[in-house]
Structure 1
Amino acid sequence: MEFAISDQIRSVHAPPITEVKGWLASREPDPGRPLIDLCQAVPDYAPARQLTDYLATCLDDPAMAKYSPDEGLLEVREGVCARYGRVYGAAPAPEGVCLTIGASQAFWLAIVTLCRAGDEVIVPLPAYFDHPMALEMLGLRPVWLPFDEKRGGVVDPAAVERLITPRTRAILLVTPSNPTGVVTPPDVIHELYSLARRRGTALVIDETYADFIPCGAAPHDLFADPHWGDHLVQIMSFGKTYALTGYRAGCLVASDEFISHALKAQDTMAVCQPRITQHAVLYGVRHLDDWVAGNRLMMERRHDLFRSVFTRPGNPFELAASGTFFAWVRHPFPGRTGREAARRLAVEAGVICLPGEVFGPGLEPYLRLAFGNIREEAIPEAVERFRGLAV
């Protein structure tokens, strides 16, 4: 007798990047027109050479193959906190940091510590698809805040407050946004934090792309509030920051008490972040600030070039919102889904991107484009393929 798959997980959609790349099976390779990948937000540049040289020296240490404390090595967490002080102007204590296997695991830790089945989490649209997938698997209800194109995708705190109910356990914010690239201004973040405090809920901020905010501006100064941990939970990643996506380098930042409970889940889920990843993070936070700033400037140039070329007259696709890593685009096919538009781009134009509907309900008119994989010299050709697709 065949075993049963849970109905709860059956109802969750499959990973969208895998689906999109599967469409290419029907496309004949064209050496003169190679595939342009605007699908996954993976830096196309390698980690800093001095970092990889350092890691090579670590591998001879037998301790590198052993567990660390669940929350991570103290010297790594101290180094992370010192970098927070440089970036944010204030920092959590090491006891408020848990190193995780990417930001995705940090999100799981945050949510299982905050919520129980049947609770609600307010999720602004468009949403990074892994977040609602996780919520639905855990039996939680995402409460959708509609995308407001007139506000440029910036969340309206007053609209968030109207969605709060007695079941609301968290307000989720991703800034800079994946998928739109939009940076939430610090004053709006403060309003959301004040709202969470006033209504007795948590503000959960995913700042995976915080190191790509234009001009290197500080994302916010919430850590300067001595009581920040009462209502703030932060999710962070070093994967994009140091081009270590495969190393799965993330962290969860919260109050000491919150982390003490999250470690119960950490121990049953992963035990600890791998030591080699922790040493990569430690080297990065100690030595690579200038390297990170250089890559931010490079990604800003990519975005600025893309925006200037894409918005020239005659493009049937419209730019709805964008930022250093992403563009959120309205496709020109009325009555067609984003999936249909994205598949046409993949098969006919050799450009892969993600359909809007994988980022939440009602987003079929949109597509997400990512700049991580495309160098500046390839951007004009990529935009021409959009312009050339028959409407």
Structure 2
Amino acid sequence: MPYTVSPRIAGVHPPPISEVRGWLAERPDNGLELIDLCQAVPDYPPAPELTAHLATLLTDPHISKYSPDEGLPDVRQAVCEAYRRSYGAVIGPDSLCLTIGASQAFWLAIVTLCQAGDEVVVQSPYYFDHPMALEMLGLKGVYAPFDESAAGLPSPAVLESLITGKTRAILLVTPSNPTGAITPPEILADLYELARRHNIALILDETYNAFIPGGARPHDLFTRPDWGEHLIQIASFGKTFALTGYRAGMLVASPQFIRHALKAQDTMAVCQPRITQQAVKYGLEHLDGWVAANREMMARRHDLFRAEFLKPGNPFHLAASGAFFAWVRHPFGGTGRTAARRLVDEAAVLCLPGEVFGPGLEGYLRLAFGNIREEQIPEAVRRFRGIRTESALP
């Protein structure tokens, strides 16, 4: 008999982006150029000065060697200084572990915090990689439903109602992937107090924190002297500095938690590549203005898309949106996959179906603005308006 795949892995749905991109091979040739609203990847390259700086490091023999598991001390110190600017944070390098993207940071957090049979309360719509990881690890995700009337913002009361004796954490992505919604600091403060009352962790995935309009402070949680008792942050520099292929993530937690997480780090990846660490350090020390300009550009894309999409006569409904994403209710009676497949076949628009972001979300689609330039937005919205519908919304 041949070896078999773990039942837990076998039961997990394949990566949604790979699934949706597979449809392109079967797309009919209707003469339309594809508009890709599928993946949240910046369409602009890293800053030229960052690339030039990295080129000077490639001949350094140290750049190809391991670093400490948690990352180079000077890089982590640069992160601490950047967090003082952006969060008002008073944190030390021993609260940081640099990781292979935010996804590895999430794995580190979960395997350090939880064991099989534990529960994690997750706000829907969620980032699809998170429940995939929970399922693989034998953890139970307990999902707070999406409230369209609240534009997807979490309700502390609803989340608290889902906590049981097996709950180890509340998990929230802000700004949200997929809705773009930015959870206000006052709600995040309430969620921290909720985690404190129940002696659990609040896990915040803040991958898109550099794209909050105006560069506003995401929250004040890192200014609290007790932040490390109940807060775990998943962070990424991949979107911030257009380094997605460099896999520039980070786990932020108490020094005690990081020390235990490093046991898993050593068996997973040992360390983030030095070239990635040097890219992050350069970006944090030199590219605040470049980051701000890209934040403003993404805000313009969002504002233009929203203005065009909300004009009368659109059969699709904008349920929520933010700098990187729009969360749209489609006018068809079937699933999100059916709607997304129709969009790619009939309108050459590629996006993700709502059901990959949570149960009961078949009526929605996620649109990402990373790949669409401002001049393309009117045409993209025109295609939504022009698609044939059988059961349009009132």
TM-score where L is the length of structure 1: 0.99
Residue 358 of structure 2 is matched in structure 1 by: 360
Determine the structure 1 residue equivalent to 2:153: 154
- Displacement after TM superposition at 1:154 (Å): 0.5
Whole-angstrom CA distance in 2 between matches of 1:11 and 1:192: 32
Q: Deviations over 1:299-350 (max 9, x none)?
A: 000000000000100000000000000000000002x000000000011110
1:320 has 2:312 as partner: no
Q: Distance in 1 between matches of 2:279 and 2:4?
A: 41
How far apart are the structure 2 equivalents of 1:322 and 1:268? 38
For residue 247 of structure 1, report the CA deviation from its aligned partner. 0.2
| Kept in 2: contact 1:315–1:387 (CA 8 A) | yes
Answer yes or no: is the 8 Å Cα contact 1:72–1:99 preserved in 2.
yes
1:12 corresponds in structure 2 to 12
Instruction: Tell me which residue corresponds to 2:371.
Output: 373
* Partner SS state of residue 77, structure 1: helix
**Alignment partners' CA distance in 1, 2:363 and 2:371:** 24
Cα distance per residue 1:220-268 (max 9 Å; x no partner)? 0111111100000000000000000000001000000000000000000
**CA apart distance, 1:29:** 4.4
What SS does structure 1 have at the residue aligned with 2:42? coil
1:92 and 1:253 in contact (8 A); partners too: no
For residues 64-213 of structure 1, the aligned pairs below 5 Å read 64-213=63-212
> 1:92 deviation in Å?
1.7
- Cα deviation for residue 203 of structure 1 reads 0.2
Q: Do the aligned residues in 2 keep the contact of 1:247 with 1:277 (CA within 8 Å)? A: yes
2:60 counterpart of 1:61: yes
Kindly provide the amino acid, as one letter, of the partner of residue 16 in structure 1: P
Give the aligned CA root-mean-square deviation in angstroms: 0.7
Instruction: Please name the residue that 2:242 is paired with.
Output: 243
Deviation at 1:91, TM superposition (A): 3.4
The residue aligned with 2:265 is: 266
Which SS does the other structure have where 1:271 is aligned?
coil
Specify the SS of the correspondent of 2:366.
strand
Which residue pairs with 1:27 in the alignment? 27
Do 1:214 and 1:300's aligned partners in 2 also have CA atoms closer than 8 Å?
yes
Distance 1:27 1:359 in 2: 24
Residues 102-145 of structure 1: per-residue CA shift (max 9 Å, x gap): 00000000000000000000011100000000000000000000
1:128-180 CA distances to partner (integer Å, 9 max, x unpaired)?
00000000000000000000111111000011111000000000010000000
Partner amino acid for 2:59?
D
Give percent identity, aligned residues only.
70
Deviation at 1:89, TM superposition (A): 1.2
Letter in 1 for 2:352: L
Q: Distance in 2 between matches of 1:107 and 1:240?
A: 16
Distance in 1, matches of 2:212 and 2:42, equals 15
- Paired with 1:225 and 1:288, the residues of 2 have a C-alpha distance of 28
Gap runs ≥5 in structure 2: 390-394
Aligned pairs for 1:284-303 (under 5 A) are: 284-303=283-302
Q: Give, as a single letter, the amino acid of the residue that structure 2 aligns with 1:57.
A: T
Residue type at the aligned position of 1:145: A
Cross-structure match for 2:304 = 305
Question: 3-state DSSP class of the match of 2:344?
Answer: helix
1:344 aligns with one of 323, 342, 345:
342
Query: Which residue of 1 is the match for residue 392 of structure 2?
Result: none
The alignment's TM-score, normalised by the length of structure 2, stands at: 0.98
Distance of 1:216 and 1:66 partners within structure 2: 35
Match of 1:43 in 2: 42
How many residues were matched structurally? Answer: 389
State the Cα distance separating 1:66 from its structure 2 match: 0.4
Letter in structure 1 aligned against 2:172 = L
Letter in 2 for 1:147: F
Runs (4+) off by over 6 Å: none
The 2-side partners of 1:65 and 1:90 are apart by 32
Partners in 1 of 2:115 and 2:224 — Cα distance? 28
2:209 is the alignment partner of 1:219:
no
